[in-house]
Structure 1
Amino acid sequence: MTTTTTIDLKMYINGEWVASGDRTTIPVINPASGEVFAQLPQGTVADVKEAVDAARKAFDSGVWSGISAQERSTYLLKIADKIEEYQDELVPLETQDNGKTLTEAGFDVADAAACFRYYAGLIKAPDGQTYHVGDPMQAMVVREPVGVCGLIVPWNFPLLMSVWKIAPALAAGNTIVFKPSEVTPVTPQKLIAILEEVGIPKGVVNMVTGTGAEVGNAIVESADVDLISFTGGTKTGKHIMKTAADTVKKVSLELGGKSPNIVFDDTDLETVVDHGLFGIFYGTGQVCSAGSRILVQDTIYDKYVERFVERAKKIKVGFGNAEGTEIGPLVSQQHMEKVLSYIEIGKEEGATLACGGNRITTGGLENGYFVEPTVFTNVTSDMRIVQEEIFGPVVVIQKFSTEEEAIALANGTVYGLAAGVFTNDGARGMRVIKKLKAGITWINAFGPTYNEAPWGGYKQSGVGRNLGTFGLDEFQEVKQINVNLEVGPVGYFQS
């Protein structure tokens, strides 16, 4: 379980692998062991400018935007093949980088390849419109790439979140300046190496690494960046939106969530408990759409809590690459301390700690950032643990009586990313889902994601969408073209 070598990471600017302009680095830590296993360049504002200039030059030259959709599709298919070819390298790297289990990392790698294939097909589909506006005019709409796109991704799905942005951005014909999280940069760098390997033209893809405060902010502020696509915390998203207003660039934000999972009393107990566990504890709860608020009808509340807690206590926490591990560590010491502080807040607020609540420091896990699966019951809507995103293996289970009360509780936060409803009454399921202010919803499930379907939220969970045709739309401009088929004087002015 120990790290024996240190990986020296690089940035990628204008087709070259380079160090930071001032040669400083950031240590990258394995969250399961607390060991440094890589060194990441801390990019500078000058590095960002160089990357943006390269992306601008490449875009304006048409080396990528000017080739056919069929040619771009061929590149994307080659990338998908390479991701699968390097699967045995990518999966353990993702586990070492983020802490997630090998099973979860395997899902991410497979989804990454599938995402490139999806956009490789979509970009060849018809996408224009024509209008019969009356002779002699012919009106049409075409879609064009936005230009230089700044792509900023989080640490919880390092490879997959990178792909969710890079695949549609490249499919649409844009050039990119990409910033992975400084916490989990290893598999994103391998992805950029794959793009280089398949022959993406020089300057089309650029990666600058470092902190959000320096590198991320410089990308957002740049007048030569035409679009920002960001996934991460709501506080940072608000800052990006304000900063981007200075240059009136397009902004797509997928932000935080405090997603409700509503359970009615006509469901099978084992089934709904099982889905509830998956909804919150998959990915160690470090999932933006996690079902972190479980709302249970009062008639089955006690039975649900009893069974949920019983099973939560049995979840196997450990090294992501160890056989039998079901959830791994939190991503960093800083984030672990944040999650533990919220657990203390929950206790102080008067919620009942039904299980968990502690850092795990036994069984060889003492150097990692492991926290027990944690369940709070007897909560009220005004508690911070009910209202604020914790982003860890912490769930609150709240009681409701009527359908109307469930809807009110579900909609009672500033977030609106995801929501689920469990009921055997199909009409009620649709009725409730239609009243929930959330962008991603499920009936009798919680969590499945599809490349074909849009991903994003209402309210303070963001603006815009990833994935599906909507995800491609984010990286395109719509242009109206009007053609006069009978050229001659207008005849409006008489003199």
Structure 2
Amino acid sequence: MTESANPSVYAASDRAAALQQLRQSLAQRPPRLLIDGVWRPALSAQTLEVDDPATGEPIARIAAGDSGDIDLAVAAARRAFREGPWPRLPASRRAAALFALADAIERRQQEFALLESLDAGHSLMSIVNGDLPLGLRSLRDYAGWATKIAGEVPMRSADQRGMDYFLREPIGVAAIVTPWNAPFLMVLQKLAAALAAGCTVVIKPAELAPLSALYIGELCDEAGIPAGVVNIVTGTGVAAGQALAEHPDVNLISFTGSTQVGQSIMAAAARSNLKRVVLELGGKSPAMVFADADLDKAATAIVGEIAFKSGQYCAAGSRVYVQASVHAPLLEKMHAAMQRIRIGAGYADGTDMGPMISDAQRRRAQDLIDHSLAAGARVLRGGHARSGPGYFFEPTLIADARADMRVAQEEIFAPVLCVTPFADDAGLSEVAALANDSRYGLSAKLWARDIGTVHGLIGLLETGQVIVNGGGGEATLPFGGVKQSGYGRENGHVGLSAFTEIKSVRLGY
């Protein structure tokens, strides 16, 4: 099996029929939750509507789970952890199940790509080249890590009696709460780590884009994952998400979403049972462009990133600081790059950027822009929603945005860039001060060739990640932020450790 999807399988000649078939299938699916291996309606029998962001029209109904359904799902996960085989399986067998789940998803990759595009609005190419291969890689990477979870035995003197060591054990029941901006990928990244560690899980996907999580749930049985190990409760954050955060039988909650919700989850975790938390939250990431940078590459990358998922990407470099001598040419190149963006339904042929997730999200972006324009900022391009059906927004360039303006401080989550020059003779500490002037600290993007500039700034930036000249390599590095961008890290062995608990042993004889 490969880890990359083949774009040729999404040829336009086949896509229309496949999309129509998918729409019909979604319309006929009963709204159900997955609890203890059984698909069943919500206790309340209430449902929620899921829309296609490209049209605003409904495409499916999902079960509106609430605290009662969460109680049942957590109880099932607790039984599966305490009495079931999953935590007791040899690690190699858990690994085999993760490999099998990856293979099952890969066999249906065309359906998953269309589903994600229809549900979340993203372009097929962004899913084919990003979400799909990264999700498959997460499953296979963590399958490999499952057999490498280990404690430590300290060195001891030859005449020392007894032994000291510590074990790593699965933390227990893990709650996984995922966002609407990368629903397929976020479910798989969190689920893979939890299952590799031997945990059982309750997944609460975002109600705006929950469909890929339900499809993944259907494949868990095919992959040999026992009943009760993976449970899925759809519903609102208020009714289902809060119940998970407050539940006394949940040992860890892994959440990706807004800082405001992350703060409420941390508070609920503290009030309930001091459950562990991993929080990947908001961002207002800076991009710094120096005069010696490759301006063509920088402009293309910065604009491409803000168009990726229609700007609904927490690590996107939305605040651009550029050295004064190249401010004008970089703006010109960025403007041209935005002109080339093809906007349309994510599943349409040739689309580079799809719609935003909802009208409410689009109206919030418009409000932030309008507020800052009234305060003196200037729109160089875009700045408004597109007319017609769906939730489309024009790629936007803003100048003269002061640091105290809302567009410069708040996470817009839309295809909006604020561009600000800095003096040619500015010191690295001055540039870092601009970049660090945010309550967030998720990612930073640096464009420069001078190695002194690069290494000097890396040490000054208050952020969990620095990407230099577009990045490179293929290692799965820890991902997460500082300040109000989150708590903890995901990916790799660091992400796996979050789903384990340490038990120290002092053995005498």
Within 2, Cα distance between the matches of 1:451 and 1:26? 39
- 3-state SS, counterpart of residue 292 of structure 2: coil
Classify 1:449/1:394 alpha carbon distance in 2 versus 1 (closer, same or farther; 3 Å): farther
Name the counterpart of 1:40: 62
Q: How much has 1:141 moved relative to structure 2?
A: 1.5
Question: Quick check: 2:117–2:124 contact (8 Å CA) kept in 1?
Answer: yes
1:273 alignment partner AA: A
Q: How much has 1:449 moved relative to structure 2?
A: 9.6
Question: Quick check: 1:9–1:40 contact (8 Å CA) kept in 2?
Answer: yes
2:32 alignment partner AA: K
Name the counterpart of 1:180: 205
Within 2, Cα distance between the matches of 1:159 and 1:186? 9
Classify 1:450/1:336 alpha carbon distance in 2 versus 1 (closer, same or farther; 3 Å): farther
Name the counterpart of 1:52: 74
Within 2, Cα distance between the matches of 1:125 and 1:242? 33
Name the counterpart of 1:392: 414
One of 107, 111, 127 as aligned partner of 1:89:
111
- 3-state SS, counterpart of residue 293 of structure 1: strand
Question: Quick check: 1:454–1:471 contact (8 Å CA) kept in 2?
Answer: yes
Q: Which stretch of the first structure deviates more once superposed, 120-129 or 452-461?
A: 120-129
1:117 alignment partner AA: R
Name the counterpart of 1:120: 143
Q: How much has 1:171 moved relative to structure 2?
A: 0.3
2:48 alignment partner AA: I
Name the counterpart of 1:260: 286
Q: How much has 1:62 moved relative to structure 2?
A: 4.3
TM-score (norm 2): 0.92
Q: How much has 1:175 moved relative to structure 2?
A: 0.5
Q: How much has 1:450 moved relative to structure 2?
A: 5.7
Question: Quick check: 2:193–2:495 contact (8 Å CA) kept in 1?
Answer: yes
- RMSD of the TM alignment (CA)? 1.5
TM-score (norm 1): 0.94
- 3-state SS, counterpart of residue 295 of structure 1: strand
Name the counterpart of 2:3: none
Q: How much has 1:110 moved relative to structure 2?
A: 1.8
Name the counterpart of 2:250: 225
1:74 alignment partner AA: A
- The within-5 A match list for 1:411-426 is 411-426=436-451
Name the counterpart of 2:8: none
One of 391, 397, 400 as aligned partner of 1:375:
397
Question: Quick check: 2:149–2:197 contact (8 Å CA) kept in 1?
Answer: no
The question of 1:458 aligning with 2:482 is answered yes
One of 338, 345, 358 as aligned partner of 2:371:
345
Within 2, Cα distance between the matches of 1:78 and 1:334? 39
Show CA shifts across 1:275-329 (max 9, x none).
Answer: 2112322111110101111110111112211221232133111111112111000
User: Greater helix share, 1 or 2?
Assistant: 2
Within 1, Cα distance between the matches of 2:349 and 2:110? 16
Q: How much has 1:123 moved relative to structure 2?
A: 1.5
Question: Quick check: 1:257–1:389 contact (8 Å CA) kept in 2?
Answer: yes
Q: How much has 1:475 moved relative to structure 2?
A: 0.4
Show CA shifts across 1:5-39 (max 9, x none).
Answer: 31434210000001111111000000001110000
Percent of pairs with identical residues: 38
The question of 1:18 aligning with 2:44 is answered no
Name the counterpart of 2:173: 148
- 3-state SS, counterpart of residue 189 of structure 1: helix
Q: How much has 1:154 moved relative to structure 2?
A: 0.2
Question: Quick check: 2:48–2:63 contact (8 Å CA) kept in 1?
Answer: yes
Show CA shifts across 1:245-267 (max 9, x none).
Answer: 01111011000000001000111
- 3-state SS, counterpart of residue 131 of structure 1: coil
The question of 1:277 aligning with 2:303 is answered yes
Question: Quick check: 1:42–1:210 contact (8 Å CA) kept in 2?
Answer: yes
Show CA shifts across 1:428-476 (max 9, x none).
Answer: 1011012111111111116x79672111001000000111111101101
1:318 alignment partner AA: G
Q: How much has 1:198 moved relative to structure 2?
A: 1.4
Length, aligned pairs only? 480
Q: Which runs of 5+ in 1 are unaligned?
A: 488-495
